[in-house]
Structure 1
Amino acid sequence: MFVINDMPRQLDVELIQMLSAVETATVGHVRHGGFVDRGIRAVLDERRVAGTAVTLRIPGPDSALLHYVVPHLREGDFLIVDRCGDTRHACWGGVLANVARAKKLAGVVVDGPATDFGEIRKCGVPVWCRGPSPITTKVLGLEGAFNVPISVGGVVVVPGDAVLGDESGVLVLSPPEAMRVGQQAIGLQDAEIVMLKRLADGERLPDITGATELIESRLRQQA
């Protein structure tokens, strides 16, 4: 059975620009949920992008629906692919990387392997996946679903969610969360600049973070 739903509303440009300045690891200082499994890793290092989640679910050996929906993808979309637990067949490779570049996708997340890493890097569209595989999917027409809630890397992704990806991982947020989390993260990153200046001026890290006071207090209690 195939399910094909309408495209989600794209996120505001201002929100995307703000998220693009946020490091996923900064959010990881204050939040635990929304991060996809760390086994899903960046093929391109040192790239940080944000975009609107467009979701796809396709079974192990079949990528017919992926080929079918590619023309519907828009500039700034972040394609998120649920592979139904398959870790053998690569649904993403060089040809699709070239298509993604032409469509100006923000990025692609595949909860499974990909192939043609050299071509993916050459095209420059950021891809996150579970590593390489030489065994590819085929156009079989078995089943699939487009723009439905999916599960990728242990995280539920809903069409229209905000997606942020960099070399440390991938974070998925609802649009209302994304604004709040993004603003908080920018504040933390600004505070880190101040901390680095204090360290350069000779202050000690545990004195700045409060670790000195905390540990010495615990030691006094133990005495």
Structure 2
Amino acid sequence: MYVIKDMPDPVPKEELDLLIEVETATVGHWRLFGFMDRAIQPLLPRRRVVGTAVTVGIAGPDSTLLHHAAGMLRPGDIVVVDRLGDDKYACWGGGVTVGVKAAGAVAGIVDGPCTDASEIEELDFPVWSRGLSPITTRLYDIGGGMNIPVSCGGAVVMPGDAILADESGVLVIPREEVRAVAEKAIAMQEAERHDVAKLRRQRLGELSGASAKIAARLAGMRL
């Protein structure tokens, strides 16, 4: 059975323009949820992308729905694929990459392996996955879901959520929180740039406050 729901509204461009300035690791300084499992890693180095989540849920050896979904994508979309626990079959390879890139999508996130790494590299299309597999899916027409809530790397992804993916990992942000998260992260990154300059003149423990905490603890132990 297939469950195919309407395409989500795109995340506003002005919010994505803010979010592209953000590093996932900056958000990781205060936010504990929305991050996908760290095993989902970029296939191409030094890429950062943002976009609107279009979700696909497909099981085992079947990728019929993913092929269909490629024809429904829009510029700025990021395809998020829930493999429903499968870690054997690669649903994403060179052919899928050509299709989704032609539609204007900016990245693929797969909770499972992909294949055809050299082709994906040649196409210069960012993909995050759980590594590589030589065993591919087929068009078995088993079924699946599109634009439904999915789980990818342990993170809940709703269609229309914002996705931020870079060399450190993948972050899912509900669309109503994008601006607040981005503005806070950008402010932290600006402050960090000032701190880096200070580190050239001051010890790290003194600057962060760690040395003061340890000194206070040691003083208490001596009483």
- 2:98 is aligned to 98
2:71 aligns to what SS in structure 1?
Answer: helix
The residue identity in structure 2 corresponding to 1:110 is: V
- The reply on whether 1:205 has 2:197 as its aligned counterpart is no
- 2:154 is aligned to 154
Deviations 1:147-192 (A, max 9, x none): 0001111111000001000010000010122211111110110011
- Cα drift, residue 222 of structure 1: 1.2
What TM-score, normalized by structure 2, do the two folds share? 0.97
Distance of 1:63 and 1:71 partners within structure 2: 14
Counting matched residue pairs gives 222
- 2:25 is aligned to 25
Structure 2 unmatched runs, 5+: none
1:1-223 equivalence runs, <5 A: 1-200=1-200, 202-223=201-222
1:50 aligns to what SS in structure 2?
Answer: strand
The residue identity in structure 2 corresponding to 1:214 is: K
Distance of 1:60 and 1:52 partners within structure 2: 25
Distance of 2:59 and 2:101 partners within structure 1: 25
- Cα drift, residue 199 of structure 1: 1.6
Distance of 1:102 and 1:117 partners within structure 2: 18
Distance of 2:82 and 2:153 partners within structure 1: 9
Is contact 1:105-1:125 (8 Å) kept? no
Distance of 2:217 and 2:187 partners within structure 1: 30
Deviations 1:181-214 (A, max 9, x none): 11111011001100011122x1111111111111
Q: Percent identity?
A: 48
RMSD (Å) for aligned C-alpha atoms? 0.9
Is contact 2:73-2:104 (8 Å) kept? no
1:56 aligns to what SS in structure 2?
Answer: strand
The residue identity in structure 1 corresponding to 2:93 is: G
Distance of 2:157 and 2:179 partners within structure 1: 17
Distance of 2:221 and 2:51 partners within structure 1: 50
The residue identity in structure 2 corresponding to 1:173 is: I
- Cα drift, residue 104 of structure 1: 2.5
Is contact 2:71-2:100 (8 Å) kept? no
2:163 aligns to what SS in structure 1?
Answer: strand
- Name segments (4+ residues, structure 1) moved above 4 Å: none
What TM-score, normalized by structure 1, do the two folds share? 0.97
Deviations 1:16-59 (A, max 9, x none): 11111100011111111110001111101100011000000011
